[in-house]
Amino acid sequence: MITKNPSPARLVNKFKEHARFVVEHHFGSAPGRIVHKSAGLTNFVFAAKHKAGEFIIRISPEAAAINSFIKEQWAQTAARKAGVPTAEILEVGSAIIPHPYMITRSVTGAEATYHPERAKIVGDMGRFAALINGIRTKGFGETFDWSNNQLSRNETWKEYLVNEYRYDSKLDILEKHRMLSAEQLRRLRKVFAEASKMKPRPVLNHGDIRLKNVIADENGKISAIIDWENCTSNLGPHWDLSLGLHDLGVDDMQHFLLGYGIKENKLREAMPLIKAFNITNYASAIEGIVRSGDKTRLEQYRTRMSGALDLYSF
């Protein structure tokens, strides 16, 4: 007898029942309504209405996701104390259902990507990024204060660059697929070699502080910075700026940086490493494009990474 895998609808219904049980367990009574939200890429996400308010329940089918949820809880709690608007996490657990879950209080507003008050929002994003980067942490990388695991923690910045970020491997990938010139590779290796000599103090980084991860009300006031699953203990401001500036045009970049409050001379000093992170972060995407056989897209990325689209230097 052949057993078919559950259909997506059956899976959604299965996890919907888990979400209903989580709400009832946490609040002591059943929710009035639970609606599946298709926005979840790796988690099952549900919006729940209850007499206690409106809430978001995220459930992961992967047992290891409990670590990510605990990390997010630690980071968002620290950020809220520092004055950063985040969704309030009420509970993280994995004991009452067979999957890790998180209950979060709903926030009002909408994703800020196409908001008419974009300039204001981007400036505030920079200000909140600076507050996040002002939170001291211990160790570098994915494993920091949220975890008691000492063996996988990078105690030094160099250990993180070499062993966890693995910048050499990323550069090898870009070189293998001819994404960069020999001179570009030489300069990037020099930037990372010099960076590995730095002895910075680790700070919290959001890891993806972009408009798609910002919820704002109709007046452009940010109600929450969301999606903290990529947060790390890292170098500030280089890591968050390499990601936060990535999607922005030059005017929005400057709004973000004005909000962040970094001085122009300090920014110019930091830009080589910010650019180096931005470029090497493409390594996994390039491998995916190569596997897909999309030669046209690969050439487009070669153009982008050559610097040909930079209109402000010559």
* CATH of residue 117: 3.90.1200.10
The phi and psi torsions of 141 (rounded to 5 degrees) equal 110, -155
CA distance 230 to 142: 8
Q: Could you say which of 67, 84, 105 is where a domain stops?
A: 105
Q: Are residues 88 and 191 in the same domain?
A: no
* 133 domain residue, yes or no: yes
Q: What is the DSSP string of 245-304?
A: STT--HHHHHHHHHHHT--HHHHHHHHHHHHHHHHHTTHHHHHHHHHHT-HHHHHHHHHH
Q: Are residues 59 and 119 in the same domain?
A: no
> What's the residue count for the chain?
314
Give the pair of three-digit tokens for residue 116: 């008419």
Give the pair of three-digit tokens for residue 166: 């693995």
Q: How many CB atoms lie within 10 A of CB 42?
A: 12
Q: Is 72 exposed, middle or buried (0-12, 13-18, 19+ CB in 10 A)?
A: buried
* pTM score of the predicted model: 0.92
Q: Are residues 230 and 247 in the same domain?
A: yes
Q: Are residues 119 and 152 in the same domain?
A: yes
* 148 domain residue, yes or no: yes
64 alpha-carbon distance from chain centroid: 18
Q: Are residues 135 and 83 in the same domain?
A: no
pLDDT for the residue 151: 77
User: Total domain count for the chain?
Assistant: 2
Q: Are residues 142 and 257 in the same domain?
A: yes
Q: Could you say which of 105, 137, 164 is where a domain stops?
A: 105
Q: What is the DSSP string of 19-63?
A: HHHHHHHHHSS--SEEEEETT-SSSEEEEEEETTEEEEEEE-SST
The phi and psi torsions of 252 (rounded to 5 degrees) equal -65, -35
* 201 domain residue, yes or no: yes
Q: Are residues 132 and 26 in the same domain?
A: no
Q: What is the mean pLDDT of each run of 10 residues along the chain (314 residues)?
A: 57 95 96 86 91 97 95 98 97 96 96 96 98 98 93 93 98 98 98 97 97 97 96 97 96 98 97 98 98 98 95 88
Give the pair of three-digit tokens for residue 244: 């936060």
Q: Are residues 86 and 20 in the same domain?
A: yes
CA distance 59 to 14: 11
Residue with tokens 């010099």: 194
* 165 domain residue, yes or no: yes
Give the pair of three-digit tokens for residue 148: 């008691």
* 232 domain residue, yes or no: yes
Beta bridge partners of 203: 136, 234
Q: Are residues 44 and 152 in the same domain?
A: no
Q: Are residues 267 and 203 in the same domain?
A: yes
pLDDT for the residue 249: 95
pLDDT for the residue 257: 98
Single-letter amino acid, residue 30: A
* 312 domain residue, yes or no: no
* 130 domain residue, yes or no: yes
b/e map 200-209, b = 16+ CB within 10 Å = eebbbbbbbb
Q: How many CB atoms lie within 10 A of CB 43?
A: 23
Residue with tokens 């000093």: 269
CA distance 52 to 57: 14
Q: Could you say which of 105, 140, 169 is where a domain stops?
A: 105
pLDDT for the residue 8: 82
Domain that holds residue 85: 8-105
Q: Are residues 170 and 298 in the same domain?
A: yes
SS3 9: helix
* 228 domain residue, yes or no: yes
138 alpha-carbon distance from chain centroid: 19
Residue with tokens 């930037």: 191
Peptide bond preceding 237 in cis form (omega within 30 of 0)? yes
CA distance 267 to 248: 16
